Amino acid sequence: MVANAWTDVWVLRVPTVILQQYDEKSKAETIAPPDLARLPVPPELGGSSLFYVFCRTFHKGTLELPAFPSVAFKLRQAMHEEIDFVKATKIVQMDPALATKLIQVANSPLYLTANRVKTCQSAITRLGLVATRNLIFSMGMKGLFNAGSPHIIKLMQDMWKRSLQLSVISSVLAAKTGQVDPDKALLGGLIVRIGAIPFLSFAENFRSEYHGSAELEGALPIIQGPVGQYMLAKWGFADEYIELPLIAEQWSYSSGTDRLDLADVVRLAAWHSYVGTPKMGDLPPITELPAYAKLKDATLTPEQSLQVLYDAKEQIAETMKVFGQ
Domain boundaries, the chain: 41-324
Q: Is residue 22 over pLDDT 50? A: no
**Radius of gyration, alpha carbons of the chain:** 22
Residues in the chain: 325
What is the per-residue pLDDT for 193? 94
> 10 Å Cβ neighbour count for 272?
22
- Crossing angle between the packed helical segments 49-60 and 196-204, to the nearest 10 degrees: 120
Please state the rounded mean pLDDT for residues 308-312.
71
At 47, the pLDDT band (50, 70, 90 cuts) reads: confident
302/255: higher pLDDT: 255
What is the per-residue pLDDT for 118? 92
What is the per-residue pLDDT for 199? 93
CA distance 208 to 132: 40
The helices-and-strands tally (H runs, E runs) of the chain is 17, 0
What is the per-residue pLDDT for 316? 75
What is the per-residue pLDDT for 271? 92
Lowest mean pLDDT among 134-148, 155-169, 199-213, 271-285: 199-213
What is the per-residue pLDDT for 325? 56
CA distances 228 to 74, 196, 198, 233, Å, are 22, 7, 9, 9
Which one, of 78, 82, 101, lies nearest residue 90 by Cα?
Answer: 78
What is the per-residue pLDDT for 122? 93
Lowest mean pLDDT among 176-190, 272-286, 301-315: 301-315
What is the per-residue pLDDT for 207? 67
Q: What percent of the chain has pLDDT over 90?
A: 30
**Which CATH class for the 41-324 domain?**
mainly alpha
Please state the rounded mean pLDDT for residues 219-224.
90
CA distance 259 to 261: 6
